[in-house]
Amino acid sequence: MKKNIHPEYMECTVRCSCGNTWTTRATVPEMTLDLCDKCHPFYTGTQKLVDTGGRVQRFADKFGGAAKAQLDKAAARKAANAEKDAQQRAERAAKAEAKAAAKAARAAEYAKKAEAEAAAKAAEAVADEAVAEVAEAETEAAKDAE
Kindly list the domain boundaries of the chain, sorted by start residue. Answer: 8-44, 67-135
Percent of the chain scoring above 70 in pLDDT: 95
CATH architecture for residues 8-44: Irregular (4.10)
Of 10-14, 71-75, 94-98, 119-123, give the lowest mean pLDDT range.
71-75
What's phi and psi for 119, nearest 5 deg?
-65, -40
User: Given pLDDT bands bounded at 50, 70 and 90, which one contains residue 43?
Assistant: confident
Is the model more confident about 61 or about 117?
117
In the predicted model, what is the mean pLDDT of residues 5-34?
94
Q: Is 12 annotated as a binding residue?
A: no
Closest CA to 44 of 53, 35, 55: 35
User: Given pLDDT bands bounded at 50, 70 and 90, which one contains residue 51?
Assistant: low
Strands 10-16 and 21-26: antiparallel
User: Given pLDDT bands bounded at 50, 70 and 90, which one contains residue 50?
Assistant: low
pLDDT above 70 (res 108): yes
Give the Cα separation of 90 and 111 in Å (integer): 31
Give the Cα separation of 1 and 77 in Å (integer): 72
The answer to whether the predicted template modeling score (pTM) of the entire model surpasses 0.85 is no
List all residues 6 or more positions away from 36 whose beta carbon is below 8 Å from its beta carbon: 14, 16, 18, 20
| Contact call for residues 38 and 44 (beta carbons, < 8 A) | yes
pLDDT value of position 39: 84
- Residue 18 amino acid letter: C
- Residue 38 amino acid letter: K
Residue 37 sits at the vertex; the CA angle it makes with 54 and 21, to the nearest 5 degrees, is 80
